[in-house]
Structure 1
Amino acid sequence: MKPSLLFAAFAFALLIQLTNASEGDRSYEFFHCVTICSLTTCSPDQSLPLTLRLTFWTCPQNCEYTCMHRITDAAKLSDDPILQYYGKWPFHRFLGIQEPASVLFSLGNGYMHLRHWSVLRQKIPLTYHLRPYYLSWVVVGVNSWLWSAVFHTRDFNLTEKLDYYSAALSILYALFFAVVRILRLRSPILIGAWGMLCLACYTAHVSYLSFVRFDYHYNIIANGAVAVLHNLFWLTWSAWQYTSWSHAKGGNRAFAWYPAAGVVLVSLAMALEVFDFPPYWGVFDAHSLWHLSTIPLIPIWHRFMLEDTRFEVEVGKREDKMRKD
């Protein structure tokens, strides 16, 4: 082995140590294993299996994966703690997919949105003013879960940002829609102004993360604040529907509990993120189970959209009839 190539291999391993490090990849054992693996197996004529090449694995990255699981298997045998590597637990990949459970459950969430697309288009009247916002909600949701699946397939800088930005867009759009629906905005000027404000906030958020600093803590706080505000809007609306004042103003929506149930259950599901733990069987961690738990919650919102549309259309017809009479 040429000295220059040996130095390059050690320099590459050292670079790995200094970027995005976790306890596992900072260890000498991992450093040594990856270095030896890279020196002995990575050569210009070496070729990875097709599934790994299709998912953009390189030989050094494959060495990292092999060493990670070699050390993890030894830790399990000796009852030592399981460590994270580059911010992730040691998952077993499938066909080159880094986190197969999270990918599967992300696609499941996207499917739940997509399968209601035709139902919403069919059952929501073309003349109903909220129809475009309901359909846009589906599009934003599918987009968000698609990029989540891509990110969990392979964690690159680009796929990570697309996942984070899509999630932020989904959360902010949910707040945009909540305000339009709950405050019953009908004026194009008011809706446009509110939409421009949301767009400006989103642009500033993405610009900061892209051009100033990709700050994970800021991203969590910003998205969390928007989500809390969104939840408070819907919880207040749901509670209002069961008051005597609401009934006197034509409320009496028997389905008004849907939004409250939706935001509460999603918040409880997100609590899984707090209880982080090594993946069971190298597949199911807290994050993947969070994605799994949100799949059955999506139909709650679609059911609300349909019920609310039906109620609003019927009320509108009665009001039109009264005005004519």
Structure 2
Amino acid sequence: MRTNTAICVIGTFFLSLLRLCAGSKGNVQPNFLSCVDTCTRTECPTAELPLSLRLTLWDCPENCRYNCMQGITDRAIANDAPVYQYYGKWPFYRVFGIQEPASVLFSIGNGYVHYYYYKILRRDIPNAYYLKPYMLVFSMVGINAWIWSTVFHARDFPITEKLDYFSAGLFILYSLYYALIRLFHIRNQVVLRLLSVVVTAMFLAHISYLSFYTFDYGYNMMASVVVGSLVLLLWVGWTILQYTKEKNKHRRSYAYLVILSVAGTSAAMALELFDFPPFLRVFDAHSLWHFSTIPLMTLWYRFVLLDTPNEMRIGKY
């Protein structure tokens, strides 16, 4: 039941994102279009942007859109009128040219968790343990994903969007790869190579379709939810086995940590269902989701650090 509920949450989350991507009301409002047109005609021929905006690659028309969006939002709040999204985003206050400062800050926090535990895993896990290389790659893939999340939320361009999506997809797919190797104790080199080829081919096919055919948001989201659901099912099934074993049958009493992490991350996506105008024009549901994954990923690494000596002790290496 918990598994089905979590999958439903993930599915509803992605469907909600599809609705959000369908359009934004703010950037088609006549007052916004008129404001941007006037600003572009009167200011852009002579205006020079501050250094912070030039360093973050803002141009004058974009700056006009930002200023018009903020002015209209100011009046909407003062008149208790609806606050709209613009070009798929809420009207965030930018900081030194950064579009979504809270999401940037929390993305950095997530990346640091992976970096911090990468150093611990490299130092404390014996080289003889067969999973050590896969653990280290897991951390590096996580660092990469959050680097591009940071860049994308700092400045939304087509290339930064793709790199963010592709890196997140790689992290989800590698999580499945790692789960299969760990849970089924795959050590046979032929099987490992075959699994590696299959996973690599899946990723290359995925990004090739999005890059060279069409950048299909719906397909990308559903691919992520399918792979993420498989990861969740594998870990939930394994955890149930641990707590239904007899105590003398190598029960992993720490298994709850991985469920708190994996299922918690899936459940945290439900924050996206309660999308709301950002508090103080900084903290929105998406940024809070990124905030929630920081402690949840810490639980994951706590699980790994408890699991490794136990697996070595019972001879699964």
Query: If the length of structure 2 is used for normalisation, what is the TM-score?
Result: 0.91
- CA contact 1:20–1:86 (8 Å) conserved in 2: no
Aligned pairs (5 A) from 1:133-282: 133-244=134-245, 247=247, 250-282=249-281
Aligned pairs (5 A) from 1:1-325: 22-43=24-45, 45-244=46-245, 247=247, 250-316=249-315
Structure 2: which 5+ runs fail to align? Answer: 1-20
- After TM superposition, the runs of 4+ consecutive aligned structure 1 residues lying more than 6 A away are none
Distance (whole Å) between structure 2 residues aligned to residue 181 and residue 312 of structure 1? 10
The one-letter code sitting in structure 2 at the alignment partner of 1:282 is R
Distance (whole Å) between structure 2 residues aligned to residue 22 and residue 121 of structure 1? 46
Distance (whole Å) between structure 2 residues aligned to residue 75 and residue 243 of structure 1? 56
Distance (whole Å) between structure 2 residues aligned to residue 251 and residue 220 of structure 1? 38
| 1:296 positional shift | 0.7
Distance (whole Å) between structure 2 residues aligned to residue 20 and residue 275 of structure 1? 17
| 1:244 positional shift | 2.7
**3-state SS in 2 of match to 1:274:** helix
Distance (whole Å) between structure 2 residues aligned to residue 138 and residue 64 of structure 1? 38
Cα shift readout 1:191-227 (whole Å, capped 9, x = no counterpart): 1111111111111111111111111111111100100
- CA contact 1:33–1:67 (8 Å) conserved in 2: yes
Cα shift readout 1:234-288 (whole Å, capped 9, x = no counterpart): 000011012236x55x422121111111112111211101111110110000000
Cα shift readout 1:138-163 (whole Å, capped 9, x = no counterpart): 00000000100000000000000000
Equivalent in the alignment of 2:10: none
Give the 3 Å change call, closer, same or farther, for CA 174–202 of structure 1 in structure 2. same
**3-state SS in 1 of match to 2:314:** helix
Q: How many residues align?
A: 297
Cα shift readout 1:162-214 (whole Å, capped 9, x = no counterpart): 00000000000000000011011010111111111111111111111111111
Distance (whole Å) between structure 2 residues aligned to residue 226 and residue 208 of structure 1? 17
Cα shift readout 1:31-63 (whole Å, capped 9, x = no counterpart): 1000000111101x4310000000000000000
Cα shift readout 1:90-145 (whole Å, capped 9, x = no counterpart): 00000000000000000000001111111111111011000000000100000000
Distance (whole Å) between structure 2 residues aligned to residue 120 and residue 155 of structure 1? 34
Distance (whole Å) between structure 2 residues aligned to residue 87 and residue 209 of structure 1? 19
The one-letter code sitting in structure 2 at the alignment partner of 1:42 is C
**3-state SS in 1 of match to 2:274:** coil
The one-letter code sitting in structure 2 at the alignment partner of 1:119 is I
Distance (whole Å) between structure 2 residues aligned to residue 48 and residue 307 of structure 1? 53
**3-state SS in 2 of match to 1:116:** helix
Higher relative contact order (CA 8 A, sep 6+): 2
Distance (whole Å) between structure 2 residues aligned to residue 290 and residue 181 of structure 1? 27
Computed over aligned residues only, the root mean square deviation of the Cα atoms, in angstroms, reads: 1.6
Distance (whole Å) between structure 2 residues aligned to residue 37 and residue 21 of structure 1? 24
| 1:21 positional shift | 5.3
Give the 3 Å change call, closer, same or farther, for CA 243–288 of structure 1 in structure 2. same
The one-letter code sitting in structure 2 at the alignment partner of 1:69 is Q
**3-state SS in 2 of match to 1:186:** coil
Equivalent in the alignment of 1:10: none
| 1:20 positional shift | 8.5
Instruction: Report percent identity of matched pairs.
Output: 50
The one-letter code sitting in structure 1 at the alignment partner of 2:34 is H
Distance (whole Å) between structure 2 residues aligned to residue 255 and residue 168 of structure 1? 28
